[in-house]
Structure 1
Amino acid sequence: MTDGAASRAGHATNYLRDGAVSRTLSTTLELAAMAVGFAQARLHILDEHHQYVLAAYGDADSVGLVVDRESTTCRAVVDSAEPLVIADATTATADPALVTPLTAAGLRTYVGVPLFSREHTAIGTLCLTDTDPKAVSGSDVTLLQKYARVVEEQLELQRDRTRLPDDTGLDDVAAALARGEIQPWFQAIVDPSDGTVQGFEALSRWIHPLHGPLTPAHFLPAVRATDIMLDIDLDILRAAATALHGQASTVGDDVLLHVNIEGGHLHRPARLARLLDAVRDAALPSERLCVEIIESTVGDDDNTLSALEALRSNGVHVVVDDLGRGWSSLSRLVHWSIDGFKLDASLTSSLGSPAVDHLLRGLIEHGRANGLMVIAEGIETPQQRDALVELGCPEAQGFLFQRPGPVPTIPPTL
């Protein structure tokens, strides 16, 4: 096994601890199987040597089963990190080593989609099987990939519940920041029509020595109302700018760097001054920096409006983040001094429905007419991408194009 495969296997073990399996997983498997008309569904985790059945629907006796990794069909899904469909194992031309486990179990049809860890490695499968041959469409696979994302979220919650301390607080986060454990991870922002990279968003991750990369939901709530929040935002800005500058030969020297800034900083002149100093000292020119601000975290007071003007007068682009999540004031798109906005995944998840498409078309046309960036977040399927192209949305971001990683890289062309 290669070093990369060994690393993936190590990440897989994070999901095999005692007490880590929730009953809700079997419910998700049942819904996935019913959605595409399959009799059985299983959640497999694969480490370096074995395949483990964590949960199952239609085959409850298989839960807890451990078999040799090399004797499984799912290993091909994990090794390639791509879905695998075998429409009829009795007539398939696939590798006999992949078909034999199915025929030996009296199974005819197989669909496996990969499950990814928070370290962005394939660690298992959502696996559906049936004793009868089934016609499996591309839309079926896409739907199962959506269910796989739900399973991943459930696995992450279980992993944290069984491994992370419940009392992680301000001092823990401050110490992690001082040790350099809170670092930027990058996700590409692309033109959905051709995949051309327009920029990268820097997302904060706590590279925990015991638990691996932790998302902001695990550590930012403890510090959000403190100056440590500003320290984190500024450290991410500086480190991300340095990293993107260092990758210029790979990703180009003109793409934008998007960084998240807590809206509360804009209310306080001293914090704004530190932010502007960090902008001036960054490894990238300010014209390549784009500050993303969650609209619901700031008010319409004079300090906020002055802060937005100050950022833009220093060459920084300002984007309203998460437009469409919760309460939003569309008047701010008109009256605030901004350079663009991001359409939240709560809206883009329903792309293709007439009501949502009509709303998004209006927002996209507003952006085009006023020279604003419009970025659709949470894009996970080709159907969502195609809908965005049809609507003329200029930029998009999501797992379909790239999962976050520790280095800014050009995603493969879709």
Structure 2
Amino acid sequence: MKANQQDQRKIGWVAIGGLLCFLASQWFRSSASSDLIISVYPVLTLLGGFAAAAGCIGIYNQSWLFQTQRLTLRRVLMTTLFLLIGLFELVHIVSFAEEMPNGAMVESEFSLKMMSLGSLVCAAGLLFIYAVSEREIALPRKFLIFSGTLGIFVVLYTVAIQEWAVLPNLLEGDVLGGMFTRIHFLIGILFSVTAVVLFVQWKKGKDGDLPTILCAILCFFYGECYFVSATKINDLNLLLGLLSNCLGYFFIQKGLYSSVVDTPFLKQQVAEAKMNFIAHHDDVTGLPNRRRLSQRLKLMMDAAMVEEQLVGVLVLNINRFKTINDSLGQQAANRVLRQVGQRLKHSSLPGEEVFGLGRDEFVLTMTDFCTTDTALRRTRSILQLFEKPVTVDGNEYHLTLGIGMAIFPHDGDSPEEIIQNADTALHNAKEQGMELNRYAHAMQMKAQERLQLENDLRKALDRGQFYLVYQPQVNLKSGLIVGMEALVRWQHPLRGSVSPAEFIPLAEESGLIVPLGEWVLREACAQNKRWQEAGYRKLCVSVNLSMRQFRHSHLLDNISGILKETGLEPVWLELEITESMTFDKDRAFEQLRKIKEIGVHISIDDFGTGYSSLHYLKDLPIDRLKIDRSFVNEVMEDSNNAAIVSTITSMAHHLQLKVTAEGVENEDQLSFLRDQHCHEAQGYFFSKPIVAADFEKKFLRDVDKPTG
């Protein structure tokens, strides 16, 4: 907008200035002595003529010298046009005649024809150039352009020197004839039309060089006004018209320079700046990224070595951000990341810088501290920043951060090592359930062990190292087994049995939980079908779904395919989800509705430990609530836990949902649950999870015998 206003002012100044100059010159011409005109005219005319010729040749050279790998039709035509005009201007000047008493050079018949032809070619050429559509063309040979232009000039020159009747004389003695006036009046009209065409194109915003070219056209137009007003061969108007054309050539050259040099250079600068910003900033938060972090950290560490100071690096991670991303969607999750980044940036102190590492990780560097304790106190104050919730789409979300700290020079010698060690401290903090952790060398060994375990996990499924165990679910009223939960176990060839608490989070992070979950579902359905075919009473098998599985677009097809493949009827399968999976209400409802339609049961596992879903629980298409073991374990010692269990059970009864209590370990807990009219229970009081053969031997062969 600002550039557009500047262009408007420039065109306005040229238009008004040209008009005032024309009016002033006509007044001066009528009042000035002829002696003054005669004495000044020859020198200025020669200088102006050579300047005009030089300007045209300059335009020609400029069009070829810059950006020749991307020539456009307009530039090629402009090159041809002004080479031709330059030749006319040159011949015009050298064709002057010695007709003044003092031997001064003045216009001749032939020089006027050259000038008029040059003006006519300029007006017609510019109108044609800016009337045709602009496009890039293949690079023509410079020799062909030059020779073709020279040929056109020779033809026009030959026509001009012939004294044909169709070409009347422009001079009548030393007076300009009527033909001269009519020709330049026509040329002025052509320049007027060209000005209108340029103005329309400029308003459409096609080219940034058009305002300058439009100024040139105005100068050419005023030049024709001078020529039309001239009466004699030594008329001041001829000189002023020539000088006005020189000014027009200047604007043409300036416009071309802008289009072929300035504009591409500025565009290149903008593109380079944009590429540099993209290369060094995170595309979601706009914060400096890892590449910039490494550069800045290297400078900080070099300065710290000289001044014997400390440099702290904090790697910050949003806890359970994956749940937020899966539940709210990527766009809303990105808004959360931007808010976290801005909160960190705006609260940073002198000597601190904030960086975005992508995903849900940030880095904060510190230089203005003296001891590790000072850095730890500052880090704890950063944690307090997020006691206030972030707001996304009108909803408030409480976030917690995990922070890993590493300090140079104690915890590493290079930027990469310091960042890696701070990240290691962060992962260790998460494993320990801590908010903040300082790097220690022992963590590196544990991180390497974790990496090796993840590599082994990738091979375990193909090598058949996983197996299922089953835990019975008992009806508390009859004491009969009414179902079983299938749980996955990993028998590592070297490590032995690996705890699910150790490998399940790894599988979630790496994405292996999807193929692993499908294997568990297929194996559980197949085993249940084999037991049914063996003649045992039909029981429902429960299988846990991971968040990744639940969000998978092909979940329903996978379930249907496995049921069809194993031959198990849908009614004998129950899928367990967690409350966090229903955070995105609409999407979760749609997925659950589709699962229910094929006849599969659905239960909410660990109910009461996730996001509160009480306000829409009545609408969820589910069959069962499973009370988390953390409430059941202390139900006899903690009145709050007892109240929670009682409330969940009562609520489920009113919603006509079944209730299963997990983690039952003694008779007192069992009695309490019976008093609360809990439908079913599972736990070590009945049996720990056992392999299929033991489950069949212990429970299925005598399935009608009450348990507990």
**Aligned-pair CA distance for 1:254:** 2.2
**Aligned-pair CA distance for 1:333:** 2.3
Look up the match of 1:317: 601
Moved more, 313-322 or 274-283: 274-283
- Which residue, 559, 573, 596 being the options, matches 1:275? 559
Q: Which has the larger radius of gyration?
A: 2
What code does the residue aligned with 1:178 have? D
**TM-score normalised by length of structure 1:** 0.56
Give the Cα separation in 2 of the matches to 1:328 and 1:168.
Answer: 37
Instruction: Indicate if the aligned counterparts of 1:230 and 1:271 stay in contact, CA closer than 8 A.
Output: no
Instruction: Indicate if the aligned counterparts of 1:265 and 1:272 stay in contact, CA closer than 8 A.
Output: no
Look up the match of 1:384: 669
**Aligned-pair CA distance for 1:249:** 7.4
- Which residue, 314, 328, 341 being the options, matches 2:625? 341
Instruction: Indicate if the aligned counterparts of 1:324 and 1:346 stay in contact, CA closer than 8 A.
Output: no
Alignment of 1:239-254 (within 5 A): 239-248=523-532, 252-254=536-538
Indicate the SS of the match to 1:252.
Answer: coil
Give the Cα separation in 1 of the matches to 2:469 and 2:544.
Answer: 12
Look up the match of 2:493: 209
Look up the match of 2:481: 197
**Are 1:401 and 2:401 matched, yes or no?**
no
Structure whose residues are more often helix by fraction: 2
What code does the residue aligned with 1:367 have? A
**Are 1:369 and 2:654 matched, yes or no?**
yes
Q: 1:170 to 1:354 in 2, by over 3 A?
A: closer
RMSD value, Cα: 2.6
Look up the match of 1:118: none
Indicate the SS of the match to 1:380.
Answer: coil
Indicate the SS of the match to 2:489.
Answer: strand
Instruction: Indicate if the aligned counterparts of 1:260 and 1:292 stay in contact, CA closer than 8 A.
Output: yes
Alignment of 1:49-64 (within 5 A): none
Instruction: Indicate if the aligned counterparts of 1:280 and 1:286 stay in contact, CA closer than 8 A.
Output: no
Give the Cα separation in 2 of the matches to 1:376 and 1:170.
Answer: 33
**TM-score normalised by length of structure 2:** 0.34
Give the Cα separation in 1 of the matches to 2:567 and 2:512.
Answer: 22
Alignment of 1:5-404 (within 5 A): 165-248=449-532, 252-352=536-636, 353-404=638-689
Q: 1:350 to 1:184 in 2, by over 3 A?
A: same
Work out the percentage of aligned pairs sharing the same amino acid: 28
Give the Cα separation in 1 of the matches to 2:543 and 2:654.
Answer: 25
Q: 1:225 to 1:272 in 2, by over 3 A?
A: farther
Instruction: Indicate if the aligned counterparts of 2:474 and 2:707 stay in contact, CA closer than 8 A.
Output: no
Instruction: Indicate if the aligned counterparts of 2:550 and 2:581 stay in contact, CA closer than 8 A.
Output: no
Give the Cα separation in 2 of the matches to 1:168 and 1:272.
Answer: 34
**Aligned-pair CA distance for 1:398:** 0.4
Q: 1:305 to 1:235 in 2, by over 3 A?
A: same
Look up the match of 1:413: 707
Give the Cα separation in 1 of the matches to 2:553 and 2:586.
Answer: 11
Moved more, 356-365 or 369-378: 356-365
**Aligned-pair CA distance for 1:187:** 0.4
Q: 1:268 to 1:240 in 2, by over 3 A?
A: closer
Instruction: Indicate if the aligned counterparts of 2:579 and 2:610 stay in contact, CA closer than 8 A.
Output: no
Deviations 1:80-112 (A, max 9, x none): xxxxxxxxxxxxxxxxxxxxxxxxxxxxxxxxx
What code does the residue aligned with 1:234 have? E
Give the Cα separation in 2 of the matches to 1:274 and 1:251.
Answer: 27
Indicate the SS of the match to 2:476.
Answer: coil
Indicate the SS of the match to 1:243.
Answer: helix
Instruction: Indicate if the aligned counterparts of 1:340 and 1:373 stay in contact, CA closer than 8 A.
Output: yes
Instruction: Indicate if the aligned counterparts of 1:195 and 1:413 stay in contact, CA closer than 8 A.
Output: yes
Give the Cα separation in 1 of the matches to 2:532 and 2:677.
Answer: 29
Give the Cα separation in 1 of the matches to 2:491 and 2:484.
Answer: 20
Deviations 1:358-400 (A, max 9, x none): 3322321222233312100011111101111111111001000
Q: Extract unaligned runs of 5+ from structure 2.
A: 1-444, 700-705
Deviations 1:172-205 (A, max 9, x none): 2121011111121100011234431010100010
Q: 1:253 to 1:226 in 2, by over 3 A?
A: farther
Indicate the SS of the match to 1:198.
Answer: strand
